[in-house]
Amino acid sequence: MERTLAIIKPDAVAARHVGAVVERIESAGFEIRAMRLVRLSQADAEGFYAVHRERPFFGSLTAFMSSGPAVVLALEAPDAIRRWRTLMGATDPAKAEPGTIRRDFGASIEHNATHGSDAAETAAFELAYFFAGVTLAGA
Ligand code: CMP
pLDDT in tens, 115-138: 999 999 999 999 999 999 777 777
Q: How far apart are CA 120 and CA 139, in angstroms?
A: 18
pLDDT band at 139 (very low <50, low <70, confident <90, very high): low
- The answer to whether the beta carbons of residues 123 and 110 sit under 8 Å apart is no
- The answer to whether the beta carbons of residues 71 and 9 sit under 8 Å apart is no
The gap between the terminal CA atoms of the chain, to the nearest Å, is 11
Q: How far apart are CA 65 and CA 135, in angstroms?
A: 26
Q: What is the pLDDT of residue 136?
A: 79
What is the CA(109)–ligand 1 centre distance, in A?
6
Q: What is the pLDDT of residue 135?
A: 78
Choosing from 8, 46, 112 the residue with most ligand 1 atoms within 8 A of its CB, the one to mutate for a pocket test is 112
Q: What is the pLDDT of residue 32?
A: 98
Architecture of domain 2-38+70-131: 2-Layer Sandwich (3.30)
The rounded Cα 123 to chain-centroid distance in angstroms is: 11
Ordered by start, the domain boundaries in the chain are 2-38+70-131
Mean pLDDT of all residues in 58-84: 98
Q: Name the closest-CA residue to atom 13, ligand 1.
A: 110
Q: Which of 129, 28, 3 is nearest to 70 (CA)?
A: 129
CB-based contacts of 42-46 (< 8 A; 24+ apart in sequence): 42/66
Q: Which of 105, 129, 64 is nearest to 96 (CA)?
A: 105
Name the E strands within the chain: 2-8, 31-38, 70-77, 114-116
Q: Establish whether residue 91 lines the binding site of ligand 1, counting it when its CB lies within 6 angstroms of any ligand atom.
A: yes
pTM of the model: 0.96
In single-letter form, the type of residue at position 95 comes to K
Beta bridge partners of 72: 7, 36
Active site residue 115: yes
pLDDT in tens, 39-55: 999 999 999 999 999 99
Q: What is the pLDDT of residue 81?
A: 98
pLDDT band at 94 (very low <50, low <70, confident <90, very high): very high
Q: Establish whether residue 83 lines the binding site of ligand 1, counting it when its CB lies within 6 angstroms of any ligand atom.
A: no
Q: What is the pLDDT of residue 138?
A: 77
Q: Establish whether residue 110 lines the binding site of ligand 1, counting it when its CB lies within 6 angstroms of any ligand atom.
A: yes
